[in-house]
A and B are shown apart, each in its own frame.
Chain A
Amino acid sequence: MPDFKEEIRKRLEGLGLSPAREAEIVEELSQHLDDQYKQALSHGATEEAAREDVLRELSQNDVLTTSLKRVERRVPQNPIQMGTERKTNMFADLSQDVRYGLRMLLKNPGFTTIAVLALALGIGANSAIFTVVNTLLLRPLPYKNPSQLVVIWENATHLGFPKNTPSAANFLDWQKQNTLFEGMAAFAERSFNLTGVGEPERLEGRRVSANLFDLLGVRPILGRNFVPDEDKPGTKVAVLSESLWRRRFGSDPGVIGRALALNGESFTVVGVLPNSVRLPSFGNWRDQIWVPLAFSAEDAASRGNHYLEVIGRMKPGVTLEQARAEMTTIMARLAQQYPEDNTRIGTVVNPLHEEIVGDMKPALLVLLGAVAFVLLIACANVANLLLARAAARHKEIALRLALGADRARLTKQLLVESVMLSLLGGAVGLAFAYGGLQVLTRFIPPDVAHAEGIAIDARVLGFTLLIAIVTGLIFGLAPASQASHFNLNDTLKEGGRDAGAGVRGKRLRSTLVIAEVAVSFILLIGAGLLINSFMHLRNLDPGFRADHMLTLNVDLSETKYPDNPKRTAFFDEVVRRIQALPGVRSVAVAGNLPFTYNGDSMPIGAEGIPDPPPDQRPDVIFRAIGPGYFSTMGIPLVGGRDFNDQDTLDTTLAVVVSEKTARHYWPNADPIGKRIRNGSTTSDAPWRTVIGVVKDVRQNDFIAEPKMQMYFAYRQLRSLMPNALIVRTAVDPLSLASSVRNAIWAVDKDQTVANIDSMEHIVAGAVARQRFSMLLLAIFAAVALVLAAVGIYGVMSYSVAQQTREIGIRMALGAQRSDVLKMTIKQGLKLVGLGLVIGLAVAFILTRVMATLLFGISATDPLTFITISFVLLVVAMLASYIPSVRAMRVDPMVALRYQ
């Protein structure tokens, strides 16, 4: 017999087989060929013909070599060592999983689209809110070592000012006596009339300590900062903001050294600061220009005049607690030295960052929590979709398990698939976030610092990537663990039966629905509380009529209008001209309009009433106004009379008080005719006679209760100047803006006119923050409600479809359609009810964190809780009603044949 072994060996060369394997194959094949050879002989072939026959088959088209190459290529060349046989290549596995996942996603475009959209909604909302949080709360301030910067206030809580602006003398003492600060700087708001460069313009700006910008570590983009030497009266230098420099001076570098006319005086420009400089401020004050603080000798000695804001830089290594302790010690010493002004006055030291972003923090954190909930609901929905699909894929999974697939490997592969889904969702979500931010930023209250810097940056991208991956893992875990847990035997025995319909799958899906209902309930409660509280705010009476009113600032230059007669003449003429305009009902001179400025305040003494000790004298807010102010504002006069043209410096000095003031000083007597004076009964200020009592007016916002107020006739004041005009109109107030402005310029062409606005808009601005958080939370809650409804609907449809057979049997046995309807709706309501109860319990606890955002209602407002429960119940009922009706229409015959 010929030896075929050598022939076979020749053909195995180059396959890289191990010697043992080669020997095995040679042995097996040679046997086969021997058998074949023998058979050929037995059929009568010659030895030569039989041999050729056998070899022809072996050599046919190189089939053996190529096929073996494919089969045997992974045979290790080196001897196998125990325990090292399974070589895992994570990246090879991963790329395989990714390709497989992609194929699965593409195979099912409908599923993929819905899942990606749901995830994009959830992830997009998170990215958008995180972008805002990132910019406003997380990004460090644009100053050198910003964590060392603190804001220092006087604490006069007992007088109603927990964070009072320090007086100059106190500030100077702090500056001298502290040991833990590198430096302290103060500043005060001041407006400037810029004239001589095109149209006159009113600029918002500040007087600042010369060391302020060096203390902050801000570098000018042009010129220089102030030098210490310039911080004294008579130095007329100014630093411009970048925006002013670009807008009014066309970015001309030659502006340095140029003289500007500010409030009628000449100032030399020494520097330009970048736009990033943003000092903490009350309201919508946007600095455009700075001049040195330059205390006069009188200012520097005053402890009763509170108007500064103070920033300090702690020395490296000094903690906030140490700084607070030192300030407390210093203030206690000052209280002993100057009891008249400083008794019971303390200090408040807060990080600058907290002061700038502080009051946005609770709202943003609540929103961040809300979007996390939205994402959770989206996750639950996608998990549900995946569960349903896992059921449809059970054959594939069973097969792979049957073929010996590693369960861990299978779980990993399913997870890769869900993470890919969520990454897709994240990418689309990022686009949603970008679009959403364009809208969102429009609703951010204008006084929020650094809001203009809100943009998607690397950190946001990282955040999005992270939540996308985590999201994918979360919603992929349930289906993956279910898939890898199911019992192979049962699945195979069940045959066509849906594996996901097993008890385990059903329980998982039910849990998800309960969770969805609970989470959307919490969100709806949050939104409901905010909406409710916003309504409360808007329904509060500000104390005046805000509709049909135009307001504008008219700051008179001290050099041009140095005394009362000149100012009176100007305002008389302006009022006369505006009054003559068509569409104008009435016009009045005003000072420090409500909702734009707190109003200045001081203690008073009432004749015949003993003065309380200095530290217990309440402050009364005062305003300088002209005749007709109350009727134009729509503030009701409850007693006495309004000011008139006869109230001048030559007649009895008059004062109008608010009801609250009247009640405080003369609770049981008619206040008309009573006399008061500034400071105390023993001060040297002149007595003023109460001629009228008006209703209380809210000061800055709807939240704080109105404080005591009084009004002076500006014509009876030597120093205090009115700075605004109010115009009651018969037409849209803003339509009169230009004619009113022209009427003023007809009197003085250099006079600045600023902040032309309708009172309605100003009042709306006072609730802008509340509106911002309310609007967003309402949007997120609506998204959550829709997602939850879709989720409930999906699960109910699925479970009804699973019961088609049961329903058919029941109906065949005589069950009425209403019975079937009742049965399926009951199932839905059971889940929803359970979700509601859990949501109720959690909401009861969670809404407490919102307490600071609420006004007029408690965080557990029963009305809100009941209404929201009802809304959710109705939506959930609808979501389970529709599939139930469909179940009811099932033809028993069809149902019985089903499956």
Chain B
Amino acid sequence: MASAILDRELKKGSAELLILSLVKDRPRHGYELGQLIEMRSRGALRFNVASLYPLLYRLEKRGWIRGRWVEKSGQRRRRYYRLTPAGGKILKAQREGWREFVEAISLITGIQHA
């Protein structure tokens, strides 16, 4: 069920919103992003490696995020992704749109916020 929803959401592009939100405050690497999404959604959303990385590459290609190899002492080097200014604007617009969408759905379906 959850993965079916995720699939559909992926297509709609809200997966982008998730990624952008997560790299907004500080740079993160792919594995971390996957973990965070799974954790914060309490396991409802889960990216597998085969779909996560193509998505990251796509966002990078559009210039919304930017990946850089970072080496820390005693660790393997990792690729960290951070939000670009353009990505910031997109994030703002998408958050706005998402909020409106959720509100609209709530108004219709009568679901109240806690």
Contact = CB atoms under 8 A, between A and B. Distances in A.
Nearest to B52: A32
A125 to B, nearest CB: 45
A786 to B, nearest CB: 42
A587 B89 CA distance: 94
Contacts of A31: 30-31, 76, 78
Given A31-B76, A60-B50, A68 B31 contact: no
Interface string A47-60: 00000000001111
Contact of A402 (B50, B55, B90): B90
A63 B51 contact: yes
Contact of B54 (A27, A59, A61, A71): A71
A35 B34 CA distance: 11
B76 A29 contact: no
A68 B52 CA distance: 10
A156 to B, nearest CB: 83
Interface residues of A, number: 27
A58 B50 contact: yes
Interface in B16-73: 30-31, 34, 48-55, 57-58, 61-63
Given A32-B34, A402-B89, A64 B53 contact: yes
Contact of B31 (A35, A63, A402): A35
B54 A68 contact: yes
Interface of A is mostly: helix
A70 B55 CA distance: 10
B95 interface: no
A609 interface: no
Given A31-B76, A32-B31, A67 B51 contact: yes
- The residue among B50, B53, B86 with the most chain A CB atoms within 10 A of its own CB is B50
B53 A29 contact: yes
Contacts of B86: 402-404
B5 interface: no
Given A402-B89, A492-B89, A63 B57 contact: no
Contacts of A71: 54, 57-58, 61
A349 to B, nearest CB: 73
A36 B31 contact: yes
B31 A403 contact: no
Given A70-B54, A71-B57, A403 B49 contact: no
Contacts of B31: 31-32, 35-36
Nearest to B67: A28
A33 interface: yes
Nearest to A495: B96
B49 A32 contact: yes
Nearest to A492: B89
A399 interface: yes
Contact of A57 (B48, B78, B79, B89): B48
Nearest to A64: B50
A32 B90 CA distance: 27
Contacts of A402: 86, 89-90
Contacts of A182: none
Nearest to B34: A32
B53 A25 contact: yes
A403 B94 CA distance: 13
Contacts of B51: 63-64, 67
B93 interface: yes
A457 interface: no
A58 B34 CA distance: 14
A403 B90 CA distance: 8
A399 B49 contact: no
Contacts of A60: 48, 50
Contacts, number: 67
A61 B49 CA distance: 12
Contacts of A27: 79
Interface in A69-85: 70-72
B30 A28 contact: yes
A73 B49 CA distance: 19
A34 to B, nearest CB: 8
Contacts of B76: 31
A25 B53 CA distance: 9
Contacts of A57: 48-50
Given A403-B63, A404-B63, A28 B90 contact: no
B53 A72 contact: no
Contact of A68 (B57, B63, B90): B57
A620 B86 CA distance: 91
Given A28-B30, A68-B57, A403-B63, A63 B50 contact: yes
Given A36-B49, A67-B51, A72 B57 contact: yes
Given A28-B30, A32-B34, A404-B86, A67 B49 contact: no
Contacts of B61: 71
A64 B54 contact: yes
Interface in A18-49: 24-25, 27-29, 31-33, 35-36
Contacts of A64: 49-51, 53-54
Contacts of A24: 79
A31 B52 CA distance: 14
A67 B78 contact: no
A64 B61 CA distance: 17
A323 B31 CA distance: 94
A32 B76 CA distance: 11
- The residue among A32, A36, A399 with the most chain B CB atoms within 10 A of its own CB is A32
B40 to A, nearest CB: 17
B9 to A, nearest CB: 15
A64 B86 CA distance: 27
B69 to A, nearest CB: 8
A71 B50 CA distance: 13
Contact of A28 (B50, B53, B58, B89): B53
Nearest to A33: B49
Contacts of A59: 50
Contacts of A68: 53-54, 57
A28 B79 contact: yes
B20 to A, nearest CB: 13
Interface string B78-89: 110000001001
Contacts of A403: 62-63, 86, 89-90
- The residue among A28, A68, A72 with the most chain B CB atoms within 10 A of its own CB is A28
Nearest to B84: A404
B89 A67 contact: no
A36 B46 CA distance: 13
B49 A58 contact: yes
A61 B90 CA distance: 31
Nearest to B88: A402
Contacts of A492: 89
A29 B49 contact: yes
A25 B30 CA distance: 12
A63 B55 CA distance: 11
B1 to A, nearest CB: 17
A71 B54 CA distance: 7
Contact of B93 (A25, A58, A399, A404): A399
A70 B2 CA distance: 25
Contacts of B57: 68, 71-72
A145 to B, nearest CB: 66
Contacts of A33: 49
Contacts of A32: 30-31, 34, 49, 52-53
Contacts of A72: 57
B29 to A, nearest CB: 8
9 contacts: A32-B49, A58-B49, A59-B50, A60-B48, A63-B51, A67-B50, A67-B51, A67-B54, A399-B93
Interface of B: 30-31, 34, 48-55, 57-58, 61-63, 76, 78-79, 86, 89-90, 93
Q: Which 6 pairs across A and B sit closest by C-beta, in order of nearness?
A: A67-B54, A64-B50, A63-B50, A402-B89, A57-B48, A71-B57
Given A32-B52, A58-B49, 18 more contacts: A24-B79, A29-B49, A31-B76, A31-B78, A32-B49, A33-B49, A35-B31, A57-B50, A61-B50, A64-B49, A64-B54, A68-B54, A68-B57, A70-B58, A71-B57, A71-B61, A402-B90, A403-B89
